[in-house]
Amino acid sequence: MKQIALSLLLLTTLSFTAHAYDKTQAEKFEKFYAGMDQKACAKSTLFMEATELLKLMREEKEVLVLDVRTAGENSVISVSYKDAMHVEMKDLFKPENLDKLPTDRPIVVACHSGTRGLMAVLGLKQIGFKNVQVLKGGLMALAKDNTVKNAPLK
């Protein structure tokens, strides 16, 4: 009996390790990342520099600044631009929040330093959002480049 139980345990363990990843999800990722060769990466428009975002804001261009930081972070420092939206990263992919995102104008995703923004943008691109970029360096870069010369006009 003990030998049968050990055999079943071994078979169960082997069956879990044989499928250590989600093959369906891996196929989706493979399709998404297949075109990212050296040439495509060199021409990438995935990131937007802080000075470029400040210029768009100064010129009052149609661009949504999507802040994906936590509520606590947002309570200390927030983006007060007229076309800014705060949705925590943990809630971004809920249907009610995705439905609020525009598809007819650019979205620039911001976080503290750019890491969460990158994760958010890659996820948004995978589900079909086309005109979405990461604020390179996050709000830290935006604060650094927010000078009298670059700041949006009031």
Contact 112, 73 (CB under 8 A): yes
Is 45-145 a domain of CATH 3.40.250.10? yes
What is the predicted pLDDT for the residue at 123? 94
DSSP character string of 89-107: GGGTTSHHHHTTS-SSS-E
pLDDT, tens digit, 9 for 90 and up, residues 57-96: 999 899 999 999 999 999 998 888 889 999 999 999 999 9
What is the predicted pLDDT for the residue at 29? 79
pLDDT, tens digit, 9 for 90 and up, residues 94-120: 999 999 999 999 999 999 999 999 999
Q: pTM for the complete prediction?
A: 0.78
pLDDT, tens digit, 9 for 90 and up, residues 19-65: 678 888 888 878 878 887 888 777 778 999 999 999 999 998 999 99
Please tell me the distance from the alpha carbon of residue 119 to that of residue 75, in angstroms, as a whole number: 22
Give the torsion through C-alpha atoms of 98, 103, 106, 109, to 10 deg. Answer: 10
What is the predicted pLDDT for the residue at 51? 94
Longest dimension (CA), the chain: 80
Please tell me the distance from the alpha carbon of residue 6 to that of residue 64, in angstroms, as a whole number: 58
What is the predicted pLDDT for the residue at 21? 81
Q: Where are the domains of the chain?
A: 2-36, 45-145
